[in-house]
A = this chain, B = another copy of it.
Amino acid sequence: MRICTKCTMAFMGANPNSYISLTCNINKLENNLKLLFSTPPPSSLFSSKLRSITRKASIFTRSVAENDVVTSQVEVPSSNSITKHHQSPFSGLEEVMTGYMFGKKKATEVAHAVWKNVVRKGDLVIDATCGNGYDTLALLRLIADDACRGRVFAMDLQKDALESTSSLLDRSVTADEKKQVELYSMCHTRMEELVPKGDAVRLVAFNLGYLPGGDKKIKTESETTLLALDAAKKIVAPGGLISILAYVGHSGGREEFEKVQSFAAELPIDNWVCCKLQMLNRPLAPVLVLLSKNK
């Protein structure tokens, strides 16, 4: 495998005259575009759309890497974090939503793609039900920055869950990155206690039900879930999100989902936009509930 001389990322093409990675090509385009709009920049729209183009290109790079030429990005020696970030499991919401509509993507993936549009590097976020750690890891990848300003508070009542999460993080991120996650063996109804006064929480994520692979009798319960949602409502910042993936296939699951739905229905429309994405001909499929707090 050849390496781009500019950024040390894998060069994935077959043209022997061009040893420049796609990322570098995109950077070149960015510079061209910046030049084109040199004085004055048209608006902040410019930078946000440019980010969008670059993000798409980044997803593309990753997809090609995962599916085609490069089998594993970790083969590439790198002293910076570019390579690591390309291991992120995130896809764009457009791609994921279309996939969900055609049964190719799961509600979890939609949730992750939604988070990507809300959470920024350096944010404080809470995983209220860390389970086996996949959401914690996904959130870490969104908030992690070199300055280590971001924080993921990951909570679970079950020690197995915290150990599983810790182990997943050990296998997936550097020790420095892992430091940005704080694991708490406590009930998520107490999440307010974790947040330093005045700190803004961008996202609280709930993945309800039982621990996959664990004891199915130990699961989130309607009463405590509602208390935890009430806590989340208080601490989430304007422009932030409470994301709930509700499972309706297990005993008590549908009742819990109905409670979550009623909670959402009562949130005032002046401050909250509450919506759900639900399968209609798969009655046991999880339902994604999104509670967005207005700015």
Contacts and interface: CB of A to CB of B under 8 A. Distances in A.
Interface of A: 12-15, 18, 20, 22, 25-26, 28-29, 32-33, 35-40, 42-43, 45-46, 49-50, 52-53, 56-57, 59-60, 63-64, 67-69, 92-95, 97-98, 100-103, 113-114, 117-118, 239, 241, 261, 264-269, 272-283, 289-290, 292, 294-295
A93 B91 CA distance: 13
Given A45-B67, A101-B275, 20 more contacts: A13-B37, A29-B29, A29-B32, A42-B69, A45-B60, A45-B68, A46-B64, A49-B60, A52-B95, A53-B56, A97-B114, A101-B241, A102-B295, A264-B280, A269-B281, A272-B281, A274-B280, A275-B278, A275-B280, A280-B289
Highest count of chain B CB atoms <10 Å: which of A26, A32, A241: A32
A76 B240 CA distance: 41
A266 B22 CA distance: 46
Contacts of A117: 94, 97-98
A81 to B, nearest CB: 23
Nearest to A262: B280
Nearest to A263: B280
Given A53-B60, A60-B52, A275 B100 contact: yes
B25 A13 contact: no
Those 10 A-B pairs whose CB atoms lie nearest each other, nearest first = A49-B60, A274-B280, A264-B280, A93-B94, A103-B273, A13-B36, A274-B281, A42-B68, A94-B94, A98-B117
A33 to B, nearest CB: 6
A60 B29 CA distance: 14
Contacts of A13: 36-38, 42
B59 A40 contact: no
A118 B52 CA distance: 21
Highest count of chain B CB atoms <10 Å: which of A56, A265, A279: A56
A49 B56 contact: yes
Given A273-B281, A279-B275, A292 B103 contact: yes
Given A94-B93, A97-B114, A265 B294 contact: no
A264 B276 contact: no
Contacts of A12: 37, 42
B266 A274 contact: no
A46 to B, nearest CB: 7
A44 B212 CA distance: 35
A26 B56 CA distance: 14
A102 B273 contact: yes
Given A93-B94, A273-B103, A274-B281, A25 B14 contact: no
A40 to B, nearest CB: 6
